[in-house]
Amino acid sequence: MTNKSYELTDPSSGTRTALPVRSPTVGPDVIDIGALYREQGIFTYDPGFASTASCESAITYIDGDNGVLLYRGYPVEQLAEHSSFIEVAYLLLRGELPGAEQHAEFERSIRLHTMINETLLRFFNGFHYNAHPMAMVSGVVASMSAFYHDTTDITNPEHTEIFSHRIIAKLPTIAAAAYKHSIGQPFVYPQNHLDYCSNMLHMFFAVPAEPYEVNPVAARALDLLFILHADHEQNCSTSTVRLAGSSGTNPYSAIAAGISALWGPAHGGANEAVLAMLNRIGKPEHIPKFIDKAKDRDDPFRLMGFGHRVYKNFDPRAKLIRKMCHEVLEELGGRDEPLFELAMRLEEIALKDDYFVEKKLYPNVDFYSGIIYKALGIPVSMFTVMFAIARTVGWVAHWKEMNNDPGGRIGRPRQLYTGPAQRDYVSVEKR
Ligand code: SDX
């Protein structure tokens, strides 16, 4: 708490309420409005929560004006250059970078949890072959609470530890099973001698009929993409996990709620929507027409992969992914991938347009990621699943922080009611 406070005076009654100010380690102060309804009988109103801090957190910090993203204080650029997804997972979950032994133990534990219950595999036969992978993954993750009910005591630290390792380890296996089901190929079991991303690529692309060698460039590109997608403060899906978890539900169901929220095209579904948009634009000469559509308030079309609630400058992740595009396309072929050329041209034109400049709409994390996923051979329908695999680490870190908060309460917002005032029932003859 600081010694600063705001004061609100009720204009009719003159009641004055002091609203204490709390200061963060870095970033904007917050006004604690907890006394407002009790003392003045009024609510605050902030649909979309653009000016609302929903919780106290020590995990990730974003400075949207300066394009800064810190995981437990470490700049994402440095983690992308020096770290690995498993090490970043440890950092986000535990709060510190692991020593060599801690890293080895954590990675070993994750590897030992990569297989899923054989009965869970049979769930996939219940899905039609053309079911969207996000529908399959969210359904199967929700059903994990039926298989692992022996570790859903959220008050038991051992249970929550096993849950966090299980869900991080099994998401790639579940994702790969969804992918194999959608292309009619047999499921490929995890190979625990492989690292996290190599194991995932092996499960995706190996077939029993022939040997499969993971391309280390592809594995490293995936590891980088997962680092950049691992967490992002109180975004829509993370807030969903926290809200669902605040009811005391089992953690697998809270994560499944986050997967559902991520699926939306305004959020994690944007990476899939960007590819669809680029294919729809087709050629550079069509770009102005689509820019005009995006600027037309009467046209629901938006430039997918552009804009962000928090970043009013370049999304630092978009910068790193764009740079990676060049390297990965160079290494894996597709150097002149027409969609990448088109995306860079679209970015160039949009960032010179007054509408985008005035509204501070820059490319976000989803604008380029799909181009790399495509270069890795991952189908568009799996793009948001890839996002979910990485963001599971952030969801688990925030779920644990929420679950361990001694002052934690169930999330229960109020509303501005604009429906009819009380009225009496009218029998049908009189209507
Ligand atoms: C992610 O929150 C996170 O951190 C999310 C994420 C994470 O890591 O978890 O970063 C991942 O979800 C990235 C965002 C991916 N979504 C998209 O790329 C979809 C396209 N973007 C828009 O839908 C939008 O920009 C949002 C949803 C990202 C942000 O929406 P906001 O903050 O509610 O902003 P807004 O809709 O109020 O837009 C402000 C203005 C509006 O114009 P006016 O009403 O003021 O005239 O900007 C316009 C919008 O119409 N605008 C766009 C636009 N984005 C905003 N116009 C055209 N194209 C766009 N993409």
The region that residue 221 occupies, defined by phi over 0 for left and psi between -120 and 50 for alpha, beta otherwise, is alpha
Give the Å distances, CA to CA, from 157 to 8, 55, 369, 400.
42, 22, 36, 10
Neighbours of 409 (CB within 10 A): 7
Mean pLDDT in residue range 164-192: 97
Pocket test for ligand 1, best of 278, 292, 361 (most atoms within 8 A of CB): 361
293 lines ligand 1 (CB under 6 A): no
What are the E-state strand segments in 355-427? Answer: none
Query: Whose Cα sits closest to atom 31 in ligand 1?
Result: 309
> Of ligand 1's atoms, which has the minimum distance to the CA of residue 236?
2
> Of ligand 1's atoms, which has the minimum distance to the CA of residue 274?
18
> Is residue 364 within 8 Å of 306, Cβ to Cβ?
yes
Helix 216-229 and helix 365-375, axial crossing angle in degrees, nearest 10: 160
Q: Taking 90 as the threshold, does the pLDDT of residue 1 lie above it?
A: no
Q: Taking 90 as the threshold, does the pLDDT of residue 58 lie above it?
A: yes
CA of 263 to the centre of ligand 1 (A): 15
Mean pLDDT in residue range 394-417: 97
Mean pLDDT, the chain, whole residue set = 95
CA of 422 to the centre of ligand 1 (A): 38
266 lines ligand 1 (CB under 6 A): yes
> Is residue 323 within 8 Å of 84, Cβ to Cβ?
no
* Secondary structure (DSSP) of 133-194: HHHHHHHHHHHHHHH-GGG--TT-HHHHHHHHHHHHHHHHHHHHHHHHHHHTPPP----TTS
Pocket test for ligand 1, best of 306, 314, 355 (most atoms within 8 A of CB): 306
> Of ligand 1's atoms, which has the minimum distance to the CA of residue 306?
60
Reported as half-sphere exposure (CB side, CA atoms, 13 A), residue 212 has a value of 16
What is the side-by-side order of every strand in the sheet holding 74-75?
60-63, 68-71, 74-75
In tens, the pLDDT along 189-203 reads 999 999 999 999 999
In this prediction, residue 152 has a pLDDT band, given cuts at 50, 70 and 90, of: confident
In this prediction, residue 110 has a pLDDT band, given cuts at 50, 70 and 90, of: very high
> Of ligand 1's atoms, which has the minimum distance to the CA of residue 233?
4
In tens, the pLDDT along 324-360 reads 888 888 888 766 689 999 999 999 999 999 999 999 9
294 lines ligand 1 (CB under 6 A): yes
Residues 6+ apart with CB under 8 A from 388: 134, 137, 171, 175, 258, 259, 262, 268
Catalytic residues: 308, 366
In 187-309, alpha helices (H):
196-205, 216-229, 236-245, 251-262, 270-281, 287-295
Beta strand 16-22 with 30-31: parallel, antiparallel or unpaired? Answer: antiparallel
Query: Whose Cα sits closest to atom 20 in ligand 1?
Result: 304
Q: Taking 80 as the threshold, does the pLDDT of residue 2 lie above it?
A: no
